[in-house]
């Protein structure tokens, strides 16, 4: 095995810059996914049939088609159909954010439905408005139920972010490809960014476990 990590040493700062690009993109996509996913979940459990149907159809489309197809559609189809030259970063945020929203909506829906129905009945009996009931009573309890699944979605989103390299976003993966093409050695830069991805995922997993422990302690106290 002929490995020479000395050749990638001058490129390490260049590859490390990809961490910020990856985290920024994942963070924005996650915010979009969480906000939209929450709205979709509320539509699914609501009594307005048209909103219920639209939310179910949305989830079916984004869960039923490959993420890479959605990414390519945003990047190539929007300029063709609208004439708007969308940036690779915005294409990635839209594709990943909207895709993540479909999965997060199911996570939140399941979390809300896992809350004891007596909580809802008691709030309604006391005349608490639906919006306030969801914000102050149901959603805080649902958050405790969905935290493990939500952290898993964040980890999945972080790993799948490597797909944005296909539309030339200079994330970690794309920078590894650039370095590999420059030095004619691909394994070393790929191994280096693979280690960075592992560290990020390990960090997210640790944060998730810490939050779970704190929530358990708060429940017991």
Task: Give the domains, in start order, of the chain with CATH numbers.
Answer: 12-220 (1.10.3720.10)
CB 90, CB 164: distance < 8 Å: no
pLDDT at 192 over 90: yes
pLDDT digits (tens, 9 = 90+) for 43-74: 998 888 999 999 999 999 999 999 999 999 99
pLDDT one-digit tens code per residue, 110-130: 888 887 777 777 777 877 787
- pLDDT surpassing 70 at residue 220: no
């Amino acid at each position: 095995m002929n490995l020479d990590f000395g050749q990638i040493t001058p490129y390490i700062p260049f590859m490390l810059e990809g961490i910020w690009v990856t985290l920024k993109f994942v963070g924005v996509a996650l915010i979009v996914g969480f906000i939209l996913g929450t709205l979709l979940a509320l539509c699914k459990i609501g009594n307005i049939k048209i909103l219920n149907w639209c939310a179910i159809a949305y989830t079916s489309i984004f869960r039923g088609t490959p993420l890479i197809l959605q990414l390519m559609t945003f990047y190539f189809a929007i300029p063709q159909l609208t004439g708007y030259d969308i940036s690779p970063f915005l294409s990635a945020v839209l594709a990943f954010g909207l895709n993540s929203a479909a999965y997060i909506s199911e996570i939140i829906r399941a979390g809300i439905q896992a809350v004891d129905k007596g909580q809802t009945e008691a709030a309604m009996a006391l005349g608490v408005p639906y919006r306030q009931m969801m914000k102050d009573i149901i959603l805080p309890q649902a958050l405790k139920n969905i935290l493990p699944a939500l952290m898993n979605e964040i980890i999945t989103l972080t790993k799948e972010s490597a797909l944005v390299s296909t539309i030339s976003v200079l994330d970690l993966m794309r920078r590894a490809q650039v370095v590999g093409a420059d030095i004619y050695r691909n394994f070393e830069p790929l191994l280096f960014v693979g280690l960075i991805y592992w560290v990020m995922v390990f960090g997210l997993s640790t944060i998730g476990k810490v939050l779970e422990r704190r929530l358990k302690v708060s429940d017991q106290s």
